[in-house]
Amino acid sequence: GAGVSQSPSNKVTEKGKDVELRCDPISGHTALYWYRQSLGQGLEFLIYFQGNSAPDKSGLPSDRFSAERTGGSVSTLTIQRTQQEDSAVYLCASSRTGAENQPQHFGDGTRLSIL
């Protein structure tokens, strides 16, 4: 596609439920990143995928968070047993390669609200 596509745009769910967030990167981009951003706060790195390499999961805040990237394209971020502190905007970004000089391009994000 022309840009990074994320779905759903908004998600409201009850505490304790599991949620799945989807990211479809720019076609041909091999690197994919997940971030989250709470209101008025900075970007918090969650996880990074590059090609067939093992993902960098160093930013995942707890074992309730997991992500996968199938076929080197679409990625799904799963949050199990959601908590109120998980409420945030979850942003996905992709870059052409994982090279350091490649800028990241963001999707519109998923606004997650845990009741």
Partner 1 sequence: RKEVEQDPGPFNVPEGATVAFNCTYSNSASQSFFWYRQDCRKEPKLLMSVYSSGNEDGRFTAQLNRASQYISLLIRDSKLSDSATYLCAVNPRNRKLIWGLGTSLAVNP
Q: Which residues of this chain interact with partner 1, rule CB under 8 A?
A: 31, 41-43, 45, 48, 50, 56, 89, 91, 98-101, 103-109
* Min dist. Cβ of residue 81 to partner 1 (A): 27
Token representation of residue 101? 């000089």
Nearer to partner 1 by Cβ, of 14 and 100: the residue is 100
Distances (CA, A) of 100 to 20, 59, 111: 29, 18, 28
Q: Is 78 helix (H, G, I), strand (E, B) or coil?
A: strand
Q: Which is nearer to partner 1, 17 or 43 (CB)?
A: 43
Task: Please state, in angstroms and rounded to a whole number, the distance separating the CA atoms of residues 57 and 44.
Answer: 12
Cβ of residue 100: shortest distance to partner 1, in angstroms? 4
